[in-house]
Amino acid sequence: MCFVPGAPFPDDGLLAPTAYTIQGAAVVPCSASSGDLGPACGTAQWGTDLDILVRNQLTTDAWLSILIDWNQDGTWGGVDANCGTPAPELAAANIPVPPTFGQTVPLSQLVAGLAPIAIGATNGYVWARFTLTDVPLPNPAGWTGSVGSGGFGSYPLGETEDYLLHVGSGQVAAPESGVAPTPPSAFPNPFRSETSIRFATARAGEVSVDVFDVRGRRIRTLVAGALAAGNHDARWDATDDRGHPVSPGVYFARVRGPESRHVVRIALVR
């Protein structure tokens, strides 16, 4: 099963990396492009390698915890100590998520100073569990994502989503151009009629640029296909895929390339 941002709920959807699903005997990506969480023994940076849409409808903080089965043994718990930096399978615990007042927002843009996640030593597919709770885990060290762990048997409010992710080989391709893969930007921003999403790719490959609204619904696909290494821009004229004008407000442009994944916040004003 693949979660799709905005369907059936407005708060679900992994923005990065690519999630996978199992169809028969094959593992296939949930989106048109495939991508890794990062190289084995590397780190996953929020906003580039890892990001997820969150929506906290409470009036107080919610709490996000993440489990990743680094050793691929089918259970969560313990630490992968086979790298220079230990990689706990409790990859993150009790990240405070402030109220979003009805909006769905990438976690990296909602919470400042998110610590990178240490990746385990084994290449291949790993199961990850993202759990949002209304109270913090009282015993994070004991949390294994199931009833009876972490100090509580259940939580009154919250949500859990499981994703199948891929850890890469750790081989990083050399740039094919003199252009570094810098984070994308939008100009003008805010904008009234048209904005340009500017980004760079260090090597040729499949690139997608999609625009989402604050509820996580994909509004417009600007780029979907192979691009050469270098600088690029994708222009958005504030219309959806059917050519209809969209309402003023905040939108998010997600740029997925061969070597990076980014989300840019943009504002349309009239």
What six digits make up the tokens of 183? 């984070």
Least Cα distance to 126 among 85, 159, 93, 168 occurs for: 168
With 0-12 CB in 10 A as exposed, 13-18 as middle and 19+ as buried, what is 31? Answer: middle
CATH architecture observed for domain 185-268: Sandwich (2.60)
Asked if 66 contacts 117 with a C-beta cutoff of 8 angstroms, the reply is yes
Confidence of residue 201 (pLDDT cuts 50, 70, 90): confident
Model confidence at 157: pLDDT above 80: no
Residue with the larger pLDDT of the pair 177 and 254 = 254
- How far, in Å, CA of 126 to CA of 81, rounded? 17
Model confidence at 151: pLDDT above 90: no
Residue with the larger pLDDT of the pair 216 and 54 = 54
Q: Is 208 helix (H, G, I), strand (E, B) or coil?
A: strand
The pLDDT > 70 percentage for the chain reads 83
Q: Which residues contact 187 (CB under 8 A, 6 or more apart)?
A: 195, 196, 198
Q: What is the largest CA-CA distance in the chain?
A: 54
Model confidence at 178: pLDDT above 90: no
Mean pLDDT of 105-120: 91
Model confidence at 235: pLDDT above 90: yes
Confidence of residue 103 (pLDDT cuts 50, 70, 90): confident
Mean pLDDT of 162-191: 68
CA 190 to chain centre: 24
Instruction: Give the per-residue pLDDT at 65.
Output: 93
Instruction: Give the per-residue pLDDT at 171.
Output: 40
Instruction: Lowest mean pLDDT of 4-8, 12-16, 67-71, name the range.
Output: 4-8
Residues 23-57 have pLDDT tens digits of: 776 777 776 555 789 888 999 999 888 999 888 88
Q: Which segments of the chain belong to CATH 2.60.40.4070?
A: 185-268
Instruction: Give the per-residue pLDDT at 127.
Output: 92
- How far, in Å, CA of 237 to CA of 131, rounded? 36
Mean pLDDT of 84-110: 90
150 vs 46, 136, 138, 143, 200, CA distance in Å? 24, 10, 6, 4, 43
